[in-house]
């Protein structure tokens, strides 16, 4: 694992933070300390990606190291917090497949080195597509009778069941079938 030069300053920031702190606040504090992030000669989006990647890499390295010391570093999209380890709940978080994939991504420096402007644009476009679809997400899940913790296979299976039940060729209601299909399309975009 590559030694990230902002690990120690981030650890200092976390120690000074009383409850939780956002990634943006961490980056601001690092810049106020005079830390220079790479990407000064690149586009704004690519430079921002590099700041974000370095910060997340440092946080995920710290998460693994602090876990061994009996602390849990909670990392979400809106807040980062350090607290004493509760082995029952935090171990589940560390082994969650989605969390593991995210951690693996940020701990692999090749993503930092290989990412170009067009890659960042694609990431941003995908983010905005999912962001705008997320306000429709709850309604789509309700239409299919699913909860927010469902996986794609459950969505696909439930869609097949309901589509078969409400298909107009099988005596179902045309409007209900379209509503089910629309919910499926929203969820397909969200899960892709």
Q: pLDDT (tens digit, 9 = 90+) per residue, 124-173? A: 888 777 666 667 888 999 999 998 888 889 999 999 999 999 998 888 88
E strands, 32-191, where?
Answer: 71-75, 80-84
Q: Is residue 97 over pLDDT 90? A: no
Average pLDDT, the chain: 88
Instruction: Indicate the number of domains in the chain.
Output: 2
Q: 26 near 10, Cβ under 8 Å?
A: yes
12 and 98, same domain (yes or no): yes
105 and 128, same domain (yes or no): no
Centroid of chain to Cα 76: 7
Only one residue has tokens 């991504």, namely 105
30 and 47, same domain (yes or no): yes
We report the CATH number of the domain holding residue 156 as: 1.10.287
Q: Which residues pair with 73 in a beta bridge?
A: 82
Amino acid 133: pLDDT: 64
For residue 179, the SS3 value is helix
Centroid of chain to Cα 36: 25
Mean pLDDT score, 9-25:
91
E strand or H helix at 84: strand 80-84
11: containing domain: 7-115
108-136, pLDDT tens digit by residue?
Answer: 999 999 999 999 988 888 877 766 666 78
- Report the relative pairing of strands 80-84 and 71-75 from DSSP bridges: antiparallel
In a domain, 64, yes or no: yes
35 and 129, same domain (yes or no): no
């Amino acid at each position: 694992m590559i030694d990230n030069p902002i690990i120690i300053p981030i650890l200092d920031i976390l120690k000074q933070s009383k409850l939780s702190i956002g990634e943006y606040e961490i980056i601001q504090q690092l810049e106020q300390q005079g830390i220079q992030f790479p990407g000064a000669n690149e586009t704004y989006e690519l430079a921002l990606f590099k700041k974000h990647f370095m910060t997340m890499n440092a946080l995920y390295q710290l998460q693994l190291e602090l876990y061994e010391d009996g602390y849990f570093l909670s990392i979400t999209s809106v807040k980062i917090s350090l607290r004493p380890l509760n082995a029952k709940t935090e171990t589940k978080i560390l082994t969650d497949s989605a969390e593991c994939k995210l951690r693996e991504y940020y701990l692999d420096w090749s993503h930092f080195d290989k990412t170009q402007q067009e890659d960042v644009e694609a990431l941003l476009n995908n983010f905005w597509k999912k962001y705008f679809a997320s306000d429709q997400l709850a309604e789509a899940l309700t239409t299919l009778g699913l909860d927010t913790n469902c996986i794609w296979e459950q969505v696909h299976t439930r869609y097949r069941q309901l589509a078969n039940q409400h298909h107009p060729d099988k005596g179902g209601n045309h409007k209900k079938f379209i509503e089910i299909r629309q919910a499926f399309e929203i969820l397909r975009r969200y899960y892709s």
